[in-house]
Amino acid sequence: MNRLTGTTAIVTGGAQGIGAAIVTRLAQDGARVASLDIDAARGQALAADLQSQGLNVLFISADVTIEDDIRRAVETTEAHFGPVDILINNAGRNAYFDAAAMSSDDWDASMALNLKAAWLGAKYVLPSMKRRGGGSIVNISSLHARLTTEGMFPYAAAKAGLTGLTRSLALDYGAFNIRVNAILPGWTRTAGVDDWFSRQPDPAAAERRVIDTQPLRRIASPADVASVAAFLVSADASAITGAEIAVDCGLGAKYAG
C-alpha cells in the first residue's frame, strides 16, 4: 500500500518494539519517516535495514524529554524531508513506584518521558501543520489510561494525562484540519514484556496466565499497533479525531464496568 506517499512523519521511540514497527509500517506505506530515539545503535541499525529495502527512513538521535532535542529533530526532519505531516508520540517507559516513597526526581523523569515529551513533539509540529491546513498526531497511550492494576503508579497517571492531552489538542486544532488520536495498547509482545515473563518463577506459566485472560487468547504484536497507527494517520481516517482506540485483544472490554 502507498496511501502515505508524499507525507513526512516523525516517530519517537522508533528504535525498537512498537516504535520500530510503526517506523517500518509508515515507510512501507510510502511515508518519509524520521525515527527519533535515545538508543543510537538500534535506531541506526533499523534505519539502515529499511533503507536497504528502498524505504525512506532517517534516524535522528534525540532525548525526547529535552526541548532543544525535539526542536532540533523537527528542524532536521524538515530540512531532510520537508514539512511534517504526521507525528507519532510513541516514546515511553513503564514506571513502578510507591506513591509515598517516590522521589520528586523520579516523578519528574516519568512524567517527562510519558507525558511532557508528547506535548513537546506537538509544540514543534503544530505551527507548520496549522499554516499548511492539516496534519495528524497519534499518541501511543496505554490501556492503563482507562483501567489499571496495583503497582502501576505513576505510569497509569501519565497515560491518563496523555489521553486528556489528546482530547484537548483534537478540540483546539480540529478547525485547522489537524487530527489528534490516541492508541491504547494492552499486553504487547515487546522486549519489555518478554523480559517480564522471563523474570517470573515459571515464565511459561506466567505467560499462559496472561494469555488466558485475553478474550482473543493472545497478546498483540507491535505490528498490530502499527497497523492502527498507519490507518489513523491516513486519509481513510479523515473523520476520526479525539478518539481513543484500544488495541488490547479485548482485555478492556472484559473488565469494563
Please list the active-site residues.
155
DSSP assignment, residue 94? Answer: -
- The three-state secondary structure class of 63 is coil
Angle between helices 17-28 and 222-232 (to 10 degrees): 50
Q: At which residue does the C-alpha cell 498490530 appear?
A: 224
Contact 125, 176 (CB under 8 A): no
Parallel, antiparallel or unpaired: strands 8-12 and 135-140: unpaired
Preceding peptide of 185 cis, ω within 30°: no
Distance CA 127, CA 113 (A): 22
DSSP 159-200: HHHHHHHHHHHHHHHGGGTEEEEEEEE-SB--HHHHHHHHTS
How much of the chain is in helix, strand and coil states, percent to nearest 5?
Answer: 50, 15, 30
Distance CA 69, CA 64 (A): 6
